[in-house]
Amino acid sequence: MMYKKTFRIMLLAMMLLSATSMRAAVDPNFYIFLCFGQSNMEGAARPEAQDLKSPGPRFLLMPAVDDAQRGRKMGEWCEAVPPLCRPNNGLTPADWFGRTLVKSLPENIRVGVIHVAIGGIKIEGFMPSEITEYVKTAPNWMKGMLEAYGNNPYERLVTLAKKAQQDGVIKGVLMHQGESNTGDPEWANKVQKVYDQLLGDLQLKPEEVPLLAGEVVQANGQGQCIAMNKQIQELPKTIHTAQVISSTGCTNLADRLHFDAAGYRELGCRYGEKMAQLLGYTPVRPNIEMPKKVEVPADAVTAENAIPGNEFPKVDKQRRAYFRINAPQARKVVVDICSKKYDMQSDGQGGFMAVTDPLPVGFHYYFMNIDGVNFVDPGSETYFGSHREAGGLEVPEGPEGDYYRPQQGIAHGQLRSIYYHSPNSKIGEWRHALVYTPAEYELAKNAKKRYPVLYLQHGMGEGETSWALQGKIQHIMDNAIASGEAVPMLVVMESGDIKAPMGRGQGMGDYGSSFYPVLLNDLIPYIDANFRTKTDRDNRAMAGLSWGGHQTFDVVLNNLDKFAWLGTFSGAIFGLDVKTAYNGVFANADEFNKKVHYMYMNWGEEDFIKSGEIVRQLREMGINVDSSESPGTAHEFLTWRRGLHEFIPHLFKK
């Protein structure tokens, strides 16, 4: 008997000790807050970089659903980094509520949140007496969200709250709800029922657990549900411990229903400041990185490359470019132009802007990048370059650029789009080319007149439209012919098989060489058969920029029976031995000079491809070659516009 009595005493002592240990596990300095509501509590704005920086172990989340991607399990505390609600939700007021409390409260106090919210849910969805019927009639788009909480969001909130009470003390309830109950005269009473039920189920006193209710989006008086704010403001008349959190000045998304990231930060801080005051502490705001506003000067004008109806891109008188894009879900946006990347600044409302350093005059490709993905600015016309479509920006020259601008009072030629069949292509195909015809070509009096032809090639990664769109060849030709600088001629532009990147295992010398038989055996015969051309070598020229210059050397110098005029602009001609190249074509200078009536090479002062050394060597051998260096330009279309403008006055005049 004595043994049994002793055993009972020991068992009782162990039970008491266990209960004492469990009670000791409750940390009175761990403040827990219950957060519930609809879409603005759920989080409709994508978190930005500053939101994703963890505030540290003092701000914790007990997830209400599993999140395998982030290694979160329902009911297990983790650091409170967005999304707090469910895996695919965004920033919420609770994020910066917690950050504000962490900043305001002593360092020995931790803050934890339990977060249950469903976009579009009425307050009835949190009422235990109504939830069964509510689930039955819920719209299809809401069913998956309800299922995430076992079709009972209130029960999920209470279950986790009871578990959290083993770790800390519940100090408040945060609610952002009402948009779906706008105009419901019983809303306040229904909120009271939810609040009272929570307090009863968790054995809490209302004086110790206030309810903080946030106003809905105001949008400068244009909020979709702004009428609900009057009901929210009167909630303390029904619930004496309720505190209303103002949304005045909190910025919003374009839908005028949801806050944007900056709006959630501001509203969250206000929740936190109010709670800090109620807890007896002086509120201290965490650091919020404010958007850096890009000021656009009055002298900035919309670029000629902007698609009509778009204000941006713009260029000011200092040649600085301004870009803007609306990307409310983006975290990081960059604009890449002239070999420099500029971070675009968020305006806090889904817009991003950037201003560049002063840019060189002329045409420049550019790209935008959102979260690591390159794309074309939707405000810009597109141009094929860099082996893909790109945005383009023209930084205007002064009057010196009038030679490539359309002019009034002169006759204008045509730019024709043609398709021709090419049996000499590798697979036999229809191909596309552009043909410039001078204004007089259409006149009846010239119906029998024939014209010389310039075959003009673009560079690597560009296309048959590049000389027309980026190079402005139609205007260059019209102006030069109208002024008498150049004779009327046709200009033919083809892709040259150098639009795509160089193939794996393909040698540099082979890149674009598949175009040579196409040009000689298909394109030239087609042009001569379908246009009024002079078909002899003395009336046929070829020129090209960059890799098109390489193609020009390959074609012309191997086919001097077909061409008598030759030009390159930043020509990609490497490792050329002028004494032996092209079967020694330069070895006999007198013979070469008789066959080639004019040879020209240009490059930019800042170009990474320069032809000055080749020109020097050719001249030492007695070859007649004209040249020029474009001041202040690099490997770009302004260099090549200038080169073409200097080249064409010499053509077809011998």
Catalytic residue list: 39, 255, 258
Taken in order 604, 610, 611, 612, the sign of the CA dihedral is positive
Closest CA to 498 of 567, 554, 580: 554
Closest CA to 379 of 331, 311, 315: 311
Buried b / exposed e along 415-437 (16+ C-beta atoms within 10 A): beebebebebbeeeeebebbbbb
Which amino acid, 595? K
SS3 415: strand
Answer yes or no: are the C-beta atoms of 487 and 652 closer than 8 Å. yes
Task: Please enumerate, as own/partner, the contacts of 379-382 that have beta carbons within 8 Å and a separation of 24 or more.
Answer: 379/306, 379/307, 379/310, 379/311, 379/312, 379/313, 379/323, 379/324, 379/325, 380/303, 380/305, 380/306, 380/307, 380/310, 380/313, 381/305, 381/306, 381/307, 381/469
What's the farthest any 2 CA atoms get from each other in the chain?
134
Look up residue 22 and give its two tokens: 């469990």
- The H or E element containing residue 194 is helix 187-202
Closest CA to 543 of 606, 611, 591: 611
Decide: residue 606, CB within 10 A, 0-12 exposed, 13-18 middle, 19+ buried: middle
Which amino acid, 460? M
310: Cα within 13 Å, side-chain hemisphere: 19
Say how far apart CA 203 and CA 162 lie, in whole Å. Answer: 10
**DSSP letter string over 454-504?**
EEEE--TT--TTHHHHTS-HHHHHHHHHHTTSS---EEEEE-TT-SSPPPT
Look up residue 183 and give its two tokens: 């105009």
Look up residue 636 and give its two tokens: 């770009």
φ and ψ at 276, to 5 degrees?
Answer: -60, -40
* Number of neighbouring beta carbons within 10 Å of residue 342: 18
Say how far apart CA 338 and CA 336 lie, in whole Å. Answer: 7
Cis preceding linkage at 313, omega within 30: yes
Closest CA to 344 of 353, 355, 357: 353
